[in-house]
Amino acid sequence: MVEARYLGASGLKVSEVIYGNWITHASQLDDDDALRTVRAALDLGITTFDTSDNYANTAAESVLGRALRGHRRESLEILTKVYFPTGPMGPNDTGLSRKHIMESINGSLRRLGTDYVDLYQAHRYDFETPLEETMQAFADLVRQGKVLYVGVSEWTADQLREGHALAKQLGFQLISSQTQYSMLWRVIEGRIIPTSADLGISQIVFSPMAQGVLTGKYLPGEPVPAGSRASGDFEGAKYMQRYLQEETLRAVQGLKPIAEAAGLSMPQMAIAWVLQNENVTSAIVGASRPEQLAESVKASGVKLDADTLQAIDAVLAGVVFDDPELTETLAFRKRLV
């Protein structure tokens, strides 16, 4: 079963392995398959579910809400986000203005079929809205009971410090940072993780398998597998190009004997690797089939020894992204509408 950990300097516990529905629900999967996968997650001991109002332009939240209907609400941790454009994408249908935040939480609660969300996350930093306005809106939602805890996603270290200070002044906690992190993408190690540790913020990481590259299924010198995320028009394909270089794919193949020696599959080792970091609370995984989840959750509780970690570093030397400045590449200086 999946173990649980505290999220930041709070009393909230969440699953080490979180089920996320970014690309799958209302996109890759039909509703029946999505419902089966969520129920499989529950059966495997996953209690924490991550979504966002912009996934499939609000439809992914609706699917998740239907899948969780009838399950004891107090036994779940439901996480969602606000920032990106939704609905008809008018001038106020995006960002972190008070108007958009207040309207977005009401829509999310309606679609998810709940009175509150456990964690509400600022999906990006909004350079066009005063941070004081954003944090005051979050504080009001906490006081209204619609939001229990507040987190952010892909904020810089300086933004985390400023947001954390304002949250403290307003009487609530900023407890989490949702960031991309994997054996190949380590940009948060230089600044985000030390800052977060200092502030009592922990990481919920996404793409622990580098969009599937760390499963080893993408082979050097060969076309990408048909139907994979790197093929066709899948939303995540554009984020994978940095990993699909020959040198990187060759290095990833070198991880296979390390995983075998550790008694793990490649996906399990990738998830276990991110969970070794003391500032990482959870890893978000997606799945299009229940059996994928059954494999992923076996990484919960796994401890990789020092020799394994050193071997991984040696194999991937020269292909890892670790420049802290790359966090800036994930920001949006202007809203998308």
Full pLDDT tens readout for the chain, 337 residues: 899 999 999 999 999 999 998 765 545 566 788 888 899 999 999 999 999 999 989 999 999 999 999 999 999 999 999 999 999 989 999 999 999 999 999 999 999 999 999 999 999 999 999 999 999 999 999 999 999 999 999 999 999 999 999 999 999 999 999 999 999 999 999 999 999 999 999 999 999 999 999 999 999 988 777 666 666 655 556 678 899 999 999 999 999 999 999 999 999 999 999 999 999 999 999 887 888 899 999 999 999 999 999 999 999 999 999 999 999 888 888 887 7
Asked if the structure places residue 259 within a domain, the reply is yes
CATH of the domain at 117: 3.20.20.100
In whole angstroms, what is the distance from residue 258 CA to residue 253 CA? 10
Domain with 166, as residue range(s), is 4-330
Asked if the structure places residue 335 within a domain, the reply is no
Phi, psi of 234 (to 5 degrees): -60, 140
Catalytic residue among 19, 55, 83, 243: 55
> Which amino acid, 22?
W
Asked if the structure places residue 108 within a domain, the reply is yes
Instruction: Compute the half-sphere exposure of residue 115: CA atoms within 13 Å on the CB side of its CA.
Output: 5
State the residue for tokens 């987190």: 151
R_g of the chain computed on alpha carbons: 19
Asked if the structure places residue 78 within a domain, the reply is yes
Q: How is 147-194 classified by DSSP, letter by letter?
A: EEEEEEES--HHHHHHHHHHHHHHT--EEEEEEE--SSB-GGGTTHHH
Asked if the structure places residue 151 within a domain, the reply is yes
Looking at residue 291, what is its pLDDT? 86
From residue 290, alpha-carbon distances to 40, 203, 286 in Å are 6, 25, 10
Task: Indicate the number of domains in the chain.
Answer: 1
Active site residue 243: no
Asked if the structure places residue 293 within a domain, the reply is yes
7 and 119 Cβ atoms separated by less than 8 Å: yes
Looking at residue 72, what is its pLDDT? 97
**pTM of this prediction?**
0.94
Joined tokens for residue 259: 């995983």
Asked if the structure places residue 336 within a domain, the reply is no
Asked if the structure places residue 81 within a domain, the reply is yes
